[in-house]
Structures are given as C-alpha cells and as structure tokens.
Structure 1
Amino acid sequence: MNSNCTLKASLLIAITTIGALRAAPTETRSESETVKLFARESTITVLGRKAKVAALTQSNEEQGYSPEEVKGFHVEVVNQLPVPTSIHWHGLVLPNLMDGVPFVTQDPIPPGGSRRYNFPLQQSGSYWMHSHYGLQEQQLLSAPMVIRSPKQSKAADAEFTVMLSDFSFTSSKDILKGLTGKKSAMNGKNRDTMSDSQPMSTAGQKESLVVQQWDETSKRLVAREVQAAAPDIDVKYNALLANRRTIDDPQVFEAKPGQSVLLRLMAAASATNFFIDTGKLDATIVATDGEDVQPLKGNFFQLSLAQRLDLLVTIPETGGVFPILALGEGASLQTGVLLSTPGTKIPKRPLALRPQRKMGGLDNTQEIHLRAKEPLADKPVQRSLPSVLGGDMMTYTWTINGATYPNRNSLNVKEGERVELVILNKTGMSHPMHLHGHVFEVTEIDGQKITGAKRDTILIPPKSTIKVAFDANNPGVWAYHCHILYHLATGMFTVLKYENADTKYWRPDGTPSELENPLELNNATAFWKEMTVGLIAPSEPAISR
C-alpha cells in the first residue's frame, strides 16, 4: 500500500511536469468545455475470439468526438498507454501545431501525459482521428469525428456512422517484419499465422474478380464480374470490422419505412481499400472527405483507405432488412452493417447470405465522374510540385521523389500561391496520398482535365498520374504521405513546408524511435487507471447528444 502511495506521488509530480510539454492553447477554455479523450486499451470480439486493441474514448466510453462547428474544437488527449502516442485530426484545416504529428508538429505525448488542442473549426461533415505514432493505427487507436452544423443536421431524416477497419491476430510489429523480409520474428509460428503478414500477389494471373464500372445507359456506378489480374495487397487480414464488429455480429441501425438515411462511411483501415455494396438500395454520393459533391448514383462504390464517403439512401415503404457491405480490395473478406425497419425479423447470419466473391482493384472509374459542388475559385497555378511515388513489394521500400523518409527534403511553397501537386505513381500498387492541413481539388486524371471532387486524400492507382490543386493559405510544416501504414513506416512520407515556417518540432531523426517503442497490449490501462485515480479528473462530453 505504501509503495502504491509513493508511486502515485511520483506520478503526480511526473504528470505536473509533463504539463509543461503541452502546446499552449489558442484560447483559455473552462474544464466543462474541454472533452477528455483517453488513449487506452480495449477489448473486442473478432470471429468469436477476444482480442486486445487500443481505443480513443471519452470518460463515458463513447468513441471519438463530435463537436459543433460554431463551438470550435476543445480536446485534451490523455495517454493511458505504456508508450508515447500522438493523435492526428484527419482532414481538418487547423493551426499547424494542433495537427498531432510527432516529430513534425509536436513532441509525442508520453505515458501518463496529456496535451490540449483548442482551435476554431472551419468545416463540417465526416472526419476521423487516429494515432500518428508508429504502428498504433493498426491496433485500432482511431475513432470517428463528425463535425455538426445546421446544414449537416438537415441532410437526411436519420444518419449513421460506419467506421471500417482491418484486423490481424498477428502483431503490427511482426506484420512489418514479415513485409520487410525480417522473418526471424516469425519462427515457430504455424503457416496460417505467418500468412497474415505476407505480401499478396498473383503475378499477373487472370481470375474472376468483381470490379466497379460505369453504366453509361443508367448513369450509375455498378458492380461487374470480369477476368483480370488481382491487385497487389500488402497484408492478408483475419477480418474486416465495421464499428469494431465482424460480419458474424453486425451492428443493426433502425430506420423507418420511407425515411432518408445518410451513411457516413469512414475508411480507418491500415492497409485495406474498400468497395461499398448497398445491394437493393440505390444510393447517392453527396460528399467525399467532408466536402459536398454533385450527386452521383449507384449501388457499388469505391472507398480508399483514409477517405470518407457520405451516401444518401431511402428506405422502401415496404420496409425490411438492408445489408450495407464493405468488401476488401483484392480479397474476399467483407464486413458491414444492417439497416432494418421496426418489427422486421433479422436472419441469424444476415450478412453471410451473400456469396463472398473476390474483389478486384480500385481505379479511377468513380473519381473521374465526381464533381465538386463548390469548386475552388478560378485562379492560375503559380507553383507546380512533382510527387513521384516509387518502390516495390520485393524490397518493401517506398519513396517520394526518389527518397525514403526520414530526410530533410520538403515540398516548398509560399503563402498565397495556388499550388498544383502532380502525383505520378510509378509502382504496381495503389497509394492513398494524404495532405495534412489543406483541402485540394482533383483537376486532372491521366491527362483528362476535370473540376473534380475536393478532398484531403486521393488514391493514385498503379501507373496513374493525378493532378490536384490547393491554395497555400495555412502556413506551417505539413505531413504528406501514403496512408497505407506500412508504406508510411518504410519511407513514403515527406512534408509540405511554407517559406519561413517554424520548424522547431520538425525532427526527422526522431521518427525511428516510433518503431522502437511498439505498443504491447498487456492491461496497461488498468494500471494507469489505478495509479492516476484522483489525479486526472473525468470529464463529461461538451455536447449533448
């Protein structure tokens, strides 16, 4: 008992000291207005088996945070994990030092420490948050974030958020070792377990695959079966998750006959792109990455890793049960949720009734038909920056402009410029490229000029070239990288740097330490809960729901 008291006293001193590491808030906020988000351990059930993962929850166990645009963003991240962490607010246009990228915009949050994030909100819609430290994203240290506004509340009669993830019983550390050829860590494991971390490739052999196509007659996006070579994928996963649940135990959302329903789909996976199958329900894309687009109809959609897709559907007057499936690219894994009307009997295995066919690769079919509802103002490009994506599965080294990170290379801009980013993918794999702190517009796909969707993440298919444009109006040092976690970890990362930007936190030499501090899930949260009781006060959500 005395040793516990001594350790608690030490922790109190440590936590007080750590407070000096917090970024100064942009404005003073009372405790009641600040939501505490705890990075902690959690347990989920995957195919009937208990698994330890990480989570970002409020004190009432609610996942993530949904602020109101007019009230701004006011969060304190409390690290209850045994290793450092750092949380990024994906898709938000925010002050640079609030972006949550370790060794770029801040120092990592140490175990037992916390950091506050306060800034005004400029957007509303579907966003998400995730760890940007090491491989913690694979351990599900992520959560949804829907920014509320009066416009958003009028979008449909009902709305539901569906966060998609990929899951392996193999640790993220061992997955990376397998991909980079360090097989010694896999010794003693059976073949089934080892296969979870092997790169997958069919070397060009054709097979029956389901892909997305544009139906010119009906002007819709549809599914078609073709003979083609399967896409390369990095990891063979044990399961895909929808709101942390597997296909054998889907979440059921209740909606009334005749209601319009907005589905906020978020691809929070680490290495999986998705196809979204709405089955009998016709759906309309109304927003991508939180930005409104001209309506685009169909029942089979592409959702690249880290992107968000808002789909509007209408429940038939006859009622029933309507599966919404998410299918993994290059695999036959699937997950999903159910839309059900009151009183409808739900089958025992409602999502397993559909044949598990193998999916093909994502491409530009959907992207080339998307149009921004409010395009960027017409303005000539004042700076064009090359972004050449390189690397291969054999060496498992991934580059931007011929270099692997960490390095001190940067894409340089001046405030006020209209900037064009020319992204050329020279590899045989797709890369979902994410630019922090900005919204860009897709302006050209393989030579075809368009006034495309506004995004923060764009998928670049193999051998494809896509141009995007944005206004350089948010000074700082901003991360730009492939969002496949294992590509990022092996070099496909750089920064967009404004002239005269403050670079005090940009320390590329610190990046390797992230992989040297892997998150080992071993009931550490219970330890921190016990040892910090009375030291970190619980908080209530700032917004009533």
Structure 2
Amino acid sequence: MDGVPFVSQNPIPPGGTYHYQFPLKQSGTYWLHSHYGLQEQLLASAPLILASEEQNAKADEQYTVLLSDYSFTAPAKILQQLKVGMRGMGGMSMKKIPATQKLYAQKWDESGGFARTVVEGELPDTDIKYDALIANRRRVDHPEVFRVKPGHSVLLRIIAGSAATNFFVNTEALSGQLTAVDGKDVEPVSGNYFQLGIAQRIDLLIKVPDQGGAFPIVAQGEGTKQQCGVVLATENAKVPKIPFQAEFAAAGLDNSQELQLKAKNPLPEKPVDRSLPCVLGGNMAKYYWTINGVVYPNRDSLDVKEGERVEIVFRNDTGMTHPMHLHGHDVQVTEIDGTKVQGALRDTVIVPPKSTIKVIFDANNPGVWAFHCHILYHAAVGMFTVLKYGGADTQFWHPEKTLTELSSGG
C-alpha cells in the first residue's frame, strides 16, 4: 500500500475518494503527505501516529510537533525560478554573504551527549529562503503551548514535514533522550541539540523539572537564522517569546549524530545478496539532480528479488545534503564514510556532501516503490527512481506521467 501517483496507484481525482485498508505491522511516529505535483509545499500533510502500549508507557504525556516551511510564492513559480538560476525568497537572488561566518553546529560529548556549539564555517547550500518556518502551522510569534505537569515525563514526536528545509532541534534548558528515529527504537542517546532531516522523525523523552516553568523547544532551519517552535509550560508559568531569528545561522547537517545511533532491534546478521549503487549528482546552477547519472523519467529501476538481503551504497558527489527516502521499507545504516556501524533502522537517510553511506534492508515487501530525494524540488527535476521487485505488478508505473505531475504546481 502506497500513495505515489503513477508508481503504485493512479492519483485520486478532484472530488474522488480512495479507501485504504491495511494491517498495522508497526508502531511509531510517521506522517502522510501528498505526492502529487508540488502539493506538499502547500502543506498537504499531517502526522500519523501509530502508538503502542510500550511507547505509551515511556511517558506521562505525549505531544506531536509537525515542522514545515512556508512561502507566499506559488511552488510552481519557485520551481520555475530555480530552473533559471534564481534562488532565495520566492526564487529571488540571495544577497552576497561572507565566505565564512559563525554558525551553530552540533557537537558530541560522551558525558553530555549532543549539544550546540559555535563554529567558523561556510553556509551550507540551500535552495530556498522561506517566508516562515512553522511548527504545528504556527509561527514563533504565536507558538503552540503544551500545558504539562511538573515532574512529568513528556514524549515529543517531532516530524520534519518540510519541503526543502532540514532542521536542528534545540530543547535548550531541558536535556532529552533520543529514543526513536523514523518510527524505530534506538538505544537512548542524551542531549539537547538534535539533527532532523527532511521527512525524518525523532522521538524525544524529556522530563519536566519538579519546580515547573516554561521551556521553549526550538527548531532552526539549516543554513538560516529562521526558527519555529513550541513551548512546554506548567500551569500559570509565563510563556517566553521565541525569537524569529537565532543569533547565528545553522550549519549543515552532517554525520555526527548518525554515527552515535544504534538500532534497538537491528536486522539479523545475513550476507548481502545484492549491492545497489546510488550515486547522487546534479548541478545547482542548471538545477538538475540525478540518481546514477540520469534524471527521471526513465525505466532504469533498481531491481531486487524477494527474499534478498540488499545493500544500497549512497555516494553524494554534490555540494548539497540529500535526504534519501525509500518507500515501503526500513533500512539500517551499516557504514558511514568507511566507519562500520550497527546504526539506526530508518526510512530516510541523510547523505551529506561528498559523503558515502551504506545501508541494508531485507527485500520482503514486493511491489514497485518510489525512491527519491525528499527535497521536493530535487525530486521534481529528476532525483527520483523506483525500486522494483521481479515479477511485480507494474500496471500503475508510468514514468512520464509521474514527472509531469511532480513538476506541476499541483
């Protein structure tokens, strides 16, 4: 079951309905969104929380935070301007920026976990400067306030439902435990500053101090000073204002967090039957993005057989970070730039610039599955392919129509 038009089903026409019935085989933090045209940029998305008794027992209270990016410019116009080399707010050219500057970045410390630090560096490449970043459809001048009780443990399910913005999540005065990514449990890792790539999810377990108070949870966009967030506040606590902008812009996402994550329930040991290369290429100036040197539409699917243990080798030859998302499967990170790990199970893998990451998965879900960069505009210009099982029903797979719809305004 999937919802990608002209890959796994036909699109739902205006005024039409489509009823999904499926068994729940997993639990955790998920989300759903339109895969038609550029509708995702128009906030056609929502959280999908599949709670379990085990997860419910983790905390006294649970809240969900959906992070998004918003532009008053129509997404079709944004894409058109990107294609002709215009970038920034609504596609307008960005102002000249210094070669290096102070940036907020993530650091790892064995005793304290993940924390924020200040480094000197270059701004990461990003596609679009948005009018606003929003959390649960609200800007920072009017954040959602979750009224919590002193001493309670709170499970925050945070979703990067953005079209083109990666985030850093700052729990500020509260240290939390990262307990799950993309709906899958990891060995808990502490800290107060976490990376969150587009389409990824993190579960953070936070304890409210016994004395109570108000505690902002702030998300800052990669490569920008822009912020959004929510507030945890006990009864009668004064809610502080969250600044629209941080003092420094955020650095680019990197592998520092992924290197520390370990799956709580890793895939069983098994030899790899098939290794698939996934070379990420493209050109920012000409604005095209490729998988294995080609743009979609094409019939160059990644082919597997049911029952195989499959390895994917991501190699990012570009200067941008790409959040690579495989539909219908969870993958486990096994190697990061030559360092072997028994990493997290997840469905979206951040591949930083000039990085090589290996993942494995079991081919146990026959079908034709979308596989793409989750930066909406990268997928729209061709950074998209399919994973196809031998003997799979391909009646809905029409690549040319897929690209037409991806590139439209929705």
TM over 0.5: yes
**What is the correspondence of 1:1-150 to structure 2 with a 5 Å cutoff?**
98-150=1-53
In 1, are the aligned partners of 2:74 and 2:409 still within 8 Å (CA)? Answer: no
State the alpha-carbon separation in 2 of the partners of residues 257 and 115 from structure 1: 44
In 2, are the aligned partners of 1:199 and 1:393 still within 8 Å (CA)? Answer: no
Structure 1, unmatched stretches of 5+, are 1-97, 184-192, 520-545
In 2, are the aligned partners of 1:202 and 1:232 still within 8 Å (CA)? Answer: no
State the alpha-carbon separation in 1 of the partners of residues 246 and 403 from structure 2: 43
User: CA 1:515–1:468 in structure 2 vs 1: closer, same or farther (change >3 Å)?
Assistant: closer
- In structure 1, the partner of 2:198 is 305
- In structure 1, the partner of 2:232 is 339
Shift of 1:197: 1.9
- In structure 2, the partner of 1:244 is 137
State the alpha-carbon separation in 1 of the partners of residues 26 and 367 from structure 2: 19
State the alpha-carbon separation in 1 of the partners of residues 380 and 130 from structure 2: 18
In 1, are the aligned partners of 2:277 and 2:292 still within 8 Å (CA)? Answer: yes
Q: Which amino acid aligns with 1:440?
A: V
Shift of 1:327: 0.2
Q: Secondary structure at the match of 1:115?
A: coil
State the alpha-carbon separation in 1 of the partners of residues 238 and 119 from structure 2: 35
User: CA 1:299–1:171 in structure 2 vs 1: closer, same or farther (change >3 Å)?
Assistant: same
- In structure 2, the partner of 1:400 is 291
In 2, are the aligned partners of 1:201 and 1:233 still within 8 Å (CA)? Answer: no
Pick one of 370, 383, 386 that aligns with 1:492.
Answer: 383
Shift of 1:203: 8.4
In 1, are the aligned partners of 2:227 and 2:245 still within 8 Å (CA)? Answer: no
User: CA 1:454–1:202 in structure 2 vs 1: closer, same or farther (change >3 Å)?
Assistant: farther
User: CA 1:194–1:276 in structure 2 vs 1: closer, same or farther (change >3 Å)?
Assistant: closer
* Structure with the greater alpha carbon radius of gyration: 1
- In structure 2, the partner of 1:210 is 104
- In structure 2, the partner of 1:352 is 243
Q: Which amino acid aligns with 2:210?
A: E
2:369 paired with 1:475 = no
User: CA 1:353–1:414 in structure 2 vs 1: closer, same or farther (change >3 Å)?
Assistant: closer
- In structure 2, the partner of 1:222 is 115
In 2, are the aligned partners of 1:433 and 1:481 still within 8 Å (CA)? Answer: yes
User: CA 1:448–1:305 in structure 2 vs 1: closer, same or farther (change >3 Å)?
Assistant: same
- In structure 2, the partner of 1:370 is 261
In 2, are the aligned partners of 1:326 and 1:336 still within 8 Å (CA)? Answer: yes
Shift of 1:219: 4.4
2:324 paired with 1:433 = yes
2:325 paired with 1:422 = no
Shift of 1:357: 2.1
Q: Secondary structure at the match of 1:346?
A: coil
- In structure 2, the partner of 1:40 is none
Q: Secondary structure at the match of 1:294?
A: strand
My pick for the range that moved more, 510-519 or 440-449, is 510-519
State the alpha-carbon separation in 1 of the partners of residues 90 and 151 from structure 2: 43
Paired positions, count: 410
Shift of 1:151: 1.4
User: CA 1:356–1:246 in structure 2 vs 1: closer, same or farther (change >3 Å)?
Assistant: farther
In 1, are the aligned partners of 2:66 and 2:158 still within 8 Å (CA)? Answer: yes
Shift of 1:202: 6.9
State the alpha-carbon separation in 2 of the partners of residues 200 and 390 from structure 1: 23
State the alpha-carbon separation in 2 of the partners of residues 361 and 321 from structure 1: 29
Q: Secondary structure at the match of 1:234?
A: coil
Post-superposition Cα deviations, 1:220-279, rounded to whole Å, max 9, x if no partner, equal 111110110110000000100000000100000011110000000000000000000000
Q: Secondary structure at the match of 1:368?
A: helix
Pick one of 60, 81, 93 that aligns with 1:157.
Answer: 60
TM (norm. structure 2) is: 0.97
In 2, are the aligned partners of 1:201 and 1:231 still within 8 Å (CA)? Answer: no
Q: Secondary structure at the match of 1:209?
A: strand
State the alpha-carbon separation in 2 of the partners of residues 254 and 504 from structure 1: 50
Q: Percent identity?
A: 57
Post-superposition Cα deviations, 1:58-109, rounded to whole Å, max 9, x if no partner, equal xxxxxxxxxxxxxxxxxxxxxxxxxxxxxxxxxxxxxxxx200000011111
Q: Which amino acid aligns with 1:293?
A: V
2:141 paired with 1:233 = no
State the alpha-carbon separation in 2 of the partners of residues 173 and 205 from structure 1: 31
Q: Secondary structure at the match of 1:266?
A: strand
State the alpha-carbon separation in 2 of the partners of residues 202 and 387 from structure 1: 34
Cα RMSD after superposing both structures: 1.7
State the alpha-carbon separation in 2 of the partners of residues 139 and 472 from structure 1: 33
Structure 2, unmatched stretches of 5+, are none
2:72 paired with 1:173 = no
In 1, are the aligned partners of 2:296 and 2:403 still within 8 Å (CA)? Answer: no
Between structures 1 and 2, the one with greater helix share: 1
TM (norm. structure 1) is: 0.73
Q: Which amino acid aligns with 1:137?
A: E
Shift of 1:199: 6.8
Q: Which amino acid aligns with 1:494?
A: T
In 2, are the aligned partners of 1:200 and 1:235 still within 8 Å (CA)? Answer: no
In 1, are the aligned partners of 2:38 and 2:407 still within 8 Å (CA)? Answer: no
State the alpha-carbon separation in 1 of the partners of residues 300 and 227 from structure 2: 39
Shift of 1:518: 2.7
State the alpha-carbon separation in 1 of the partners of residues 322 and 302 from structure 2: 18
